[in-house]
Amino acid sequence: MKVTAYSVEQTRELGALFASKAMPGDIYLLEGDLGAGKTEFVRGFTAKLETECTVRSPTFSIINVYTTRMFPVYHFDFYRMCDPDELNETGYYEYINSDGVCLIEWGNLFPEVIPQNAVKIKITDISENVRIIETEKEL
């Protein structure tokens, strides 16, 4: 699937579409440069699941946990990590094997820790408002 989003709202709508099909145990790998729209995708995803949490990039915290109406959402960001061994301190391995959904930004930095069942979503920033969002998963 390849979609062009012409606004932040459309990027969020695509996140909401993925959320509408998500099941506990799903893992999504969000790839894209800084400012590509990964966190906006997560905002749409969690909004669809009716969270009251404010979604922020977990660049410094490594993980943010969002309570939703359906299941917990675990939002990771590996950008500032130097070594995958640091994930042991975050509870990463427990989260990816839990009853929630994991959304992982910059997971491509440590592909060895990404489960094979993870759905890769690549977001490419074309211009100020235009993003190309690609995934092998059909919705």
pLDDT tens-place string over residues 13-32: 999 999 999 999 999 999 99
The SS3 of residue 115 is coil
3-state class of 13 per DSSP?
A: helix
H or E segment to which residue 105 belongs = strand 101-105
Task: Give me the pLDDT at residue 61, please.
Answer: 85
Tokens of 74: 């675990």
Give the structural domain span for 87. 2-135
CA distances from 73 to 5, 29, 53, 127, 135 (A): 23, 13, 11, 29, 20
pLDDT for the residue numbered 60: 79
Overall domain count for the chain: 1
pLDDT surpasses 80 at 67? yes
Look at the block and give the residue holding tokens 């590509």: 36
> Quick one: how far is CA 43 from the chain centroid?
9
Share of the chain above pLDDT 70, in %: 99
**pLDDT tens readout for residues 90-135:** 999 999 999 999 999 999 999 999 999 999 999 999 998 899 999 9
Residue 75 confidence class, pLDDT cut points 50, 70, 90: very high
pLDDT at 97: 93
Q: What is the CATH number of the domain that holds 113?
A: 3.40.50.300
Q: What is the pLDDT of residue 138?
A: 76
Name the nearest CA neighbour of 32 among 23, 20, 41. Answer: 41
